[in-house]
Amino acid sequence: MTGSRVVALGHYQPAKVLTNDDLAAMVDTSDEWITSRVGIRTRHVGGPDEPVDELASHAAAKALASAGLQPADIDMVLVATSTAIDRSPSMSARVAARLGMSSPAVMDINVVCSGFTHALATADHAIRAGAATRALVIGADKMGDIVDWTDRSTCVLMGDGAGAAVVTADPEGGDRPGIGPVLWGSVPEMGNAVRIEGTPPRFAQEGQSVYRWATTQLPPIARKVCERAGVTPEDLAAVVLHQANLRIIEPVARKIGAVNAVIARDVVDSGNTSAASIPMALSKLVERGEVESGAPALLFGFGGNLSYAGQVIRCP
């Protein structure tokens, strides 16, 4: 079987920025309260005329342009999202239509915050099996639509955005695969710790339970991801965790032992964008030249369903 690799990235965020001071005018909170507890200073929020598929399409177009490919070159579109209101057409089908694609396979993947790493693994598997040759993998969420803006414990966390990766076959990958083996799983009995439920849907979570699980259970799993990829944590050039909360990102990264890696901290400026957070953060690191082409980066998503998925990739 051939391998696969990420050849280009793109990201997109709505223009409107919501600061902590803006939130303090809406609910009983303050910049100091928010930054000390979650490390977030700003987040981007889309308007009613900016649906999820539009955010996704902008990120996808940027990734395609970076790859030097046309929409017709793509034969699979995967969109990781948990904020699609309509069941059909899917976000992936809508993105394909917006970009003018010809006949790609289209699929939405809802694993909430670990959706992108699940989708990336799915694209890798499809390419390895010969079912696709070029895939567009997108994480896109509009958390502002499902947040309770009167609940200071959750509304301070969330932002909107999208990130995209172009994944292609890599027959020359050999012992240095562009996308390493995925390690994924979940804790079903704790699935209610993160919820998007009701009509209209609303986001809620048991913050302390998620924090304890993430900071204690996830570091050894992330180290196993590195082991499967044949690298040590010290080999990593970048660690891109789901951008949930700075108080989770920093201790988890420290416990992984990636002492030489750049740690993505996009949560400070973007908030928690769920499935969009990993591809957005990685795209920004690459765009700023903070990681070299071919360097190993750990991608590790976790959260809703208390699910997780991670892989080591070679940066485009």
Active-site choice (113, 155, 226, 315): 113
Q: Which of 141, 170, 142 is CA-nearest to residue 79?
A: 141
Q: Is 195 left (phi over 0), alpha (psi -120 to 50) or beta?
A: beta
Structure tokens at 57: 């399409």
Active-site choice (20, 245, 272, 305): 272
Active-site choice (242, 245, 305, 315): 242
Spatial distance between the Cα atoms of 234 and 65, rounded to a whole number of angstroms: 33
- Residue 181 is classified by DSSP as P
Residue 242 a catalytic site member: yes
Spatial distance between the Cα atoms of 147 and 245, rounded to a whole number of angstroms: 16
Side-chain-facing half-sphere of 88: CA atoms under 13 Å: 0
Structure tokens at 132: 């696709």
Spatial distance between the Cα atoms of 263 and 250, rounded to a whole number of angstroms: 8
Spatial distance between the Cα atoms of 286 and 279, rounded to a whole number of angstroms: 10
Structure tokens at 315: 């940066």
Which residues have a catalytic role annotated?
113, 242, 272
